[in-house]
Structure 1
Amino acid sequence: MSADPNATIVKAPAATTTKRRRPPNIFALNIITIFLGIGLWWAISLTGLQIPSPPAVIASAIDLAQRGILLEDVIASLRRVLTGFLLGSALAIPVGFLMGWYGWARGLLEPWVQFFRTIPPLAIIPLAIVLMGIGEQPKIFVIFLAAFLACVISTFQGVVQVDRTLINAARVLGAKDGTIFVSVVIPASTPFILVGMRVGLGAAWATVVAAELIAAQQGLGYRMQQAQIYYDLPTIFVGILVIGIFGLLMDRTLLIIESKLTAWQERR
């Protein structure tokens, strides 16, 4: 049988191979950038600027640790940060849910939240000291306020930005408000809550240092203030590094919690 001269020959598409780009090794990059940062810091200290070198800071840290001062300061600051941060976050989450879910709660609470959010927590410190004295209460209160304001706004935005299609679909299937809130709103808002907690954690550390600069007998901020009086730059750097290290570790802990709680989400 002869072939049709008008027939069109269709060629099969050539097999294409797509190479999946390997994700970067984040941990290795973290280690590299840490060593690069230390090297840059060491190089700057050798230029004649009044910046202590890494060995001088390490020696100061060892001296403070051997005298027990560093541990006492770390414990005092950590206790204040964790207490204020946990109390602030624990109150911010239900308040944020109320503001986002109920219109009446938003109308009553949002003006006050926005009002106090524009006032730096550091500006509240003098008033807190006058009203509460110079003990632990004013320090924890201003940390609580900083963490609360950061977390409540994020929680509120998380509830407001829940996809209405999901809520309407749940209603069509017969779900009540309580079921919708637990099964739809809370899971969808979780990433926003954890972002707010991370921001609140940074605000808590910044606030505790400022509070300890004004009225404290122990703490990293207090130790840095005393070192500033005597122009003890290595001790100041020790305080900065310890705060940064603990802040980074606590932030990474929240990231791990976020990855566990939001494993259902699609990630890029």
Structure 2
Amino acid sequence: MTSTIPVRGAPPGATAPPGRSRAGRRPNRTSLRMLGLNAVAVAIGLAVWAGLARAGVEGLPGPLAVADRGWDLIESGTLLEDTAASLRRVFIGFLLGSLLAVPVGFLMGWYVTARGLIEPYVQFFRTIPPLAIIPLAIVLLGIGETPKIFVITLAAFLSSVISTFQGVVSVDKTLINAARVLGAGDGVTFRRVVVPASSPFILVGMRIGLGSAWATLVAAELIAAQQGVGYRMQQAQLYYDLPTIFVGLITIGVLGLIMDRILLLVERRLTRWQERR
């Protein structure tokens, strides 16, 4: 039987078509409002930036100068090559760090023995900035792609593993006990209860890990890189080429934002069961 919804203010007996409730329309309105606010925020930021440049802030290039420099780099192919190199390093490092962080976080959260053995090392390395590992990475791994990816992987791993661990230990014990009362073993309970319940924490940790990977990129490309957005920014610094530095900053920010939005869409699809505001 198809349920009907009374229409407010309509004649008695009038109903709304199925699937057209106010609750169903709210997410679309909220999304449109957020897009509008995002556009306003970008416009305000560009206006402030242009105003500061016009006011004569020392060395600050305006949006048009940065756009012209960006177009020159695109036409020459330099920006596309640098972007491809940086994306490859970030993607590989982020993927490796996340794939390692999720099982380690699950082990720490599910098994007390594993937590006691692993947590001291995780907490120890969390206090050491990944950038401080660069000299050691160069000595042990050389100056090729391996040390760059290693440093990015470490940054993504340390940002994600704690979130995964916290997600496992935060699972409602009532759900676990209910599954066991119904006859589920540890494997089934872990797979059918713990993993879904901790997935929001895992995905948030992955988003944080992605940010850490991008934040580490510029320093990682200090290691004898010949291409990359961070490498291009460092070269521009030597010649006081501020427009190129701004192009690099905007490129990293836009790429990071796009990848974060993709992760956010995945999070919403995998956590539809979770109540949202």
TM-score calculated relative to the size of structure 2 = 0.88
State the partner residue of 2:256: 247
State the partner residue of 2:37: 29
CA separation in 2, counterparts of 1:31 and 1:79?
29
Larger Rg: 1
Query: Share of identical aligned residues, percent?
Result: 69
1:151 CA drift (Å): 0.7
Cα offsets for 1:10-30 (capped at 9, x unmatched): xxxxxxxxx99x664111111
State the partner residue of 1:203: 212
State the partner residue of 1:179: 188
Contact 2:155 2:213 in 1 (8 A): yes
- Corresponding letter in the other structure for 2:134: I
Secondary structure (helix, strand or coil) at the match of 2:128 reads coil
- Corresponding letter in the other structure for 2:38: N
State the partner residue of 1:217: 226
CA separation in 1, counterparts of 2:53 and 2:222?
27
Verify: 1:112 aligned to 2:116, yes or no: no
Contact 2:143 2:223 in 1 (8 A): no
CA separation in 2, counterparts of 1:101 and 1:200?
22
Secondary structure (helix, strand or coil) at the match of 1:109 reads helix
Secondary structure (helix, strand or coil) at the match of 1:175 reads coil
CA separation in 1, counterparts of 2:238 and 2:250?
19
State the partner residue of 2:72: 63
Contact 2:148 2:223 in 1 (8 A): no
State the partner residue of 1:4: none
Structure 2: which 5+ runs fail to align?
Answer: 1-21
State how 1:2-151 maps to structure 2 within 5 Å. 24=30, 25-49=33-57, 50-151=59-160
1:215 CA drift (Å): 2.4
Secondary structure (helix, strand or coil) at the match of 1:231 reads coil
Secondary structure (helix, strand or coil) at the match of 1:216 reads coil
CA separation in 2, counterparts of 1:126 and 1:255?
34
Structure 1: which 5+ runs fail to align?
Answer: 1-18
Cα offsets for 1:58-100 (capped at 9, x unmatched): 1101111111110110011000000000001001101100000
CA separation in 2, counterparts of 1:57 and 1:133?
35
1:36 CA drift (Å): 1.1
CA separation in 1, counterparts of 2:218 and 2:196?
34
1:229 maps to which of 224, 232, 238? 238
- Corresponding letter in the other structure for 2:89: R
TM-score calculated relative to the size of structure 1 = 0.91
1:258 maps to which of 247, 259, 267? 267
Secondary structure (helix, strand or coil) at the match of 2:222 reads helix
CA separation in 2, counterparts of 1:255 and 1:225?
31
Contact 2:160 2:205 in 1 (8 A): yes
Secondary structure (helix, strand or coil) at the match of 2:276 reads coil
Secondary structure (helix, strand or coil) at the match of 2:275 reads coil
